[in-house]
Each structure stands twice: as C-alpha cells, then as structure tokens.
Amino acid sequence: MSELKCQVIEDWKLLRDITLGQYFPTGSVLHKLDPRLKIFLVFAFIVAIFIAKSWIDYSILFAFMIAIMILSKISFYFYIKSLKPLVFLMIFTGILNLFVTPGTVIWSFWFLKATYEGARLAIYMLVRIVLLISASSVLTYTTSPIQLTNGLESLMRPLKYIKFPSHEVAMMMTIALRFIPTLLEETDKIMKAQQARGADFTSGGLIKRARALIPILIPLFISSFRRADELAVAMESRCYNGGEGRTSLNTLKFTYVDLWALLICAGVIASIFIVP
C-alpha cells in the first residue's frame, strides 16, 4: 500500500511539473515587450540554436538565455520544472547519439561502441533541447493567452490575401496551449478519485496497465468535450463570429524598448556567424 501511495505521489508530481501554457505576471521588461516581437525572436533564437556549431556559440546562447530568465523575474524553479517531463527523452537521445554515431571509439562493450564524435553530438543535442524548451517557456511564461493570440493573428494577417483564416488559427493555437494546464489538473483530480476507489495503475504487465488507464481516459475525454462545449457557448453568448470585423481593445504598438530588444537579440544571433 505504501508503494502504491508513493507511485501516486510521483505521478502527481510529474503532472504538476508540466508548466507549458502557464502565465506568470511578474511585470518584468519581457512582459511589456510586443508579443509579435517575442514570437519572432523565439523563432530566430531556435534557428540560431541549430546554426550554432561550436562550444563558443552554445556558450553565448546559453549565457543569453540565462540573462533572459533573470530579466523575466520568474524563479528558475519553474524553468527547471518545464524540463523534468523531457528528462527521459533527453537521456534516450543522448545515449542514441553516443552509440550510433561513427567515429573514434572511446569505450566498447560487446556490440556497443561509444565514440568521441557521438559524445560530442549527444552533448550538443542535450544543450539544444534545453535551449529550445527554455525559449518556449520564456515565451509562454511572459505572454498572456490574449497577447499571444493577438501576436499570432497580427503576424499571420498577410495570409488573409490567400483566404487563410489567420484569426481562427491563432485562436485555436492559443486555446489549445491554454488548455494544457487545465487538462493536467483535471487528470490529476481523476487519478486521485480513481485511487480513492481502489484503482491500481502500477501493478501488472503493460497490457494490464494500459487497461487500467481507461477509467482515467474516458472521464478525461468527457470532461474535455464538456469544457469545449461550455467555451463555445460562452463565445457565442458574447456574439463571437470569427475575425471578420473584429477589433482589439489594446492595439499592439512597437516601442523603443522593443527596438532595443530587437537590436540586442540581433547582435547575439549575429555573433554566432562572426565567432569562429
């Protein structure tokens, strides 16, 4: 019974560790930046991550990311929490690159051969994943769902000329991102309720564990559809009819702070090409 209780606590902690989609209004400089600029800079930073080739490049990007986290005034604890759900993926990716990449063998056992080039590539991949998740977390932590929707819609507005529903796509992306913590909280409640009724999600083989998830998945799907229906009714009651003729209460404006942020980020990304 104690082992089962410990497993429930670990599962609950894992769900609580997923912070994607959450917003922390700390009032920092990053919160005041134009959401269009933040979205653009995140994509530019992601491109720079894959362009970087040397330790110096990654050191520059890593130091820049640390500075951004400090400016956000959000505890590093939340950024670390965003990485916890991907620990298994990071370990698997590192081991795969270590033993699959051909090169100078530094350790071998039976058919497994670890190479120097594989170790170097594995570390690069781990750093890339950490930087990618950190950059995405900074964007969602410092940008409210409404700002994110307005920013995405504004960036995709030129696509209207080819009949692309930019507002609807931006709304769907933002709602999906915002519902992640809500669904995780709902899953946590369902798991606790099922555990209180004697459900066992830990013992048995793979098939038995998969069957044990049915009491969680069915109520979760029902709850998700109910929330979606309530959201649709709420939007219809407010006469929402898409982006056609829709105006915004707060107009997005590009300020001098945004210009300085753009110049600083451009300088950091340019250093990737300049530094050998």
CB 22 within 8 A of CB 140: yes
pLDDT of residue 158: 80
141-145, 174-178, 264-268 — most confident range: 264-268
* pLDDT tops 50 at residue 97: yes
Q: What is 106-154 written as a DSSP string? A: EEEETTEEEEHHHHHHHHHHHHHHHHHHHHHHHHHHHS-HHHHHHHHHH
> Between vectors from CA 119 to CA 113 and to CA 120, what angle results, nearest 5°?
145
The answer, as to whether pTM is greater than 0.95, is no
Q: Residue holding tokens 């350790």?
A: 107
Residue 105: its H or E element: strand 105-109
pLDDT of residue 64: 92
Residues forming a β-bridge with 114:
107
The ranges assigned to domains in the chain are 1-23+169-245, 26-143+252-276
How much is the mean pLDDT over the chain?
A: 78
pLDDT of residue 67: 92
